[in-house]
Amino acid sequence: YLVCYSTWCATVLGVLQYLVCCSTWCATVLGVLQYLVCYSTWCATVLGVLQYLVCYSTWCVTVLGVLQYLVCYSTWCATVLGVLQYLVCYSTWCVTVLGVLQYLVCYSTWCATVLGVLQYLVCYSTWCVTVLGVLQYLVCYSTWCVTVLGVLQYLVCYSTWCVTVLGVLQYLVCYSTWCDTVLGVLQYLVCYSTWCATVLGVLQYLVCYSTWCATVLGVLQYLVCYSTWCATVLGVLQYLGNFWVMAANLTFTSLSVFHLAYLGIMFGGDVSTQEKGYGMWHTLRHWTHLDFASHWVALATFAVSLVLP
């Protein structure tokens, strides 16, 4: 019910799949941005200088103030920022896409899945893996950066337990080729419960990757949930009574009564009879000798089965 019948979840998953996986335009824009930010020699040099000034310098507050003044109040920078603002913000399509991305990434409780997909797309680039390794070393061993990461971790995850989970997620999402299947398990490990993770993993495999299971589920759904004819027929049969059901009840009732008669005659006889036993015809001949008259009990039981619905 949670995975298959939620209209909202299906719509959101479709939008995500289109935006991340199937949008040729988005792939082109990401490639251009990656080239402008990552492959520019000048930008790499500036980022190295800024990283050194921010992470390892005790007087970086003053430098950042000067840089803020030089970047924000410079006429040339204002012109460049105006052009960028026009290109990014005043394009109708870009505004719509940015709005959707902002909503999906910032205001959705399941943004961990989107971040996992983006992290997979970024981290499987050979160059990016090297850069991330260097940045990870520079960021993780800086005292100032550890404090900032702690604050960001609290603001994003709201859980001190999430540190270990984020480490596991990073390994499973970045270095595992079957992370698409594990994403169901990962989503539960971050947000919900251990039991739900297993169930989500099984459901994801059964629903998404098994054609046979999808067909069987469709047939079961039709027969059980959406077939009003089946419900009507079952109601009529239950009300009128089925001949084969009554025959089965009579058969099992007769066998039970015969067994009771056999035991009654066996333990009501002498010791020699109990030792050697006797057969079916002996039981039938001595049936009427029993005090409770078992044959009448059988007929009464059959009559009751006709009355009951």
Q: What is the pLDDT of residues 16-44, one digit of tens each?
A: 666 555 555 655 665 566 676 555 556 55
pLDDT of residue 267: 67
Alpha helices by DSSP H, listed for the chain, are: 7-16, 24-38, 41-55, 60-72, 75-89, 92-106, 111-123, 126-140, 143-157, 162-175, 179-191, 194-208, 211-220, 228-240, 243-268, 271-276, 280-285, 294-307
What span, in angstroms and rounded, lies between the C-alpha atoms of 180 and 173?
8
E-state strands within 194-271: none
Which residue did the predictor score with more confidence, 227 or 160?
A: 227
What span, in angstroms and rounded, lies between the C-alpha atoms of 14 and 45?
40
For residues 85-102, average pLDDT? 56
Amino acid in position 80:
V
With b meaning 16 or more CB within 10 Å and e meaning fewer, what string describes 149-170? Answer: eeeeeeeebeeeebeebbeebe
pLDDT of residue 135: 52
Comparing CA positions, the residue from 50, 60, 67 lying closest to residue 138 is: 50
- The separation between the first and the last C-alpha atoms of the chain, rounded to the nearest angstrom, is 33
What span, in angstroms and rounded, lies between the C-alpha atoms of 158 and 209?
33
Q: Quick one: tokens of 2?
A: 């949670």
> How far is CA 197 from each of CA 116, 203, 204, rounded to the nearest angstrom?
16, 10, 10
Q: What is the mean pLDDT of the chain?
A: 59
Q: Are 100 and 19 in contact (CB under 8 A)?
A: yes
pLDDT of residue 10: 58
Q: Quick one: tokens of 285?
A: 């001949």
Which residue did the predictor score with more confidence, 247 or 2?
A: 247
Task: Tell me the pTM.
Answer: 0.20
Is the model's pLDDT at 263 over the cut of 60?
Answer: yes
DSSP 39: S
pLDDT of residue 253: 72
Which residue did the predictor score with more confidence, 119 or 11?
A: 11
For residues 160-164, average pLDDT? 50
Q: Are 190 and 162 in contact (CB under 8 A)?
A: yes
Q: Binning pLDDT at 50, 70 and 90, where does residue 254 land?
A: confident
Is the model's pLDDT at 265 over the cut of 60?
Answer: yes
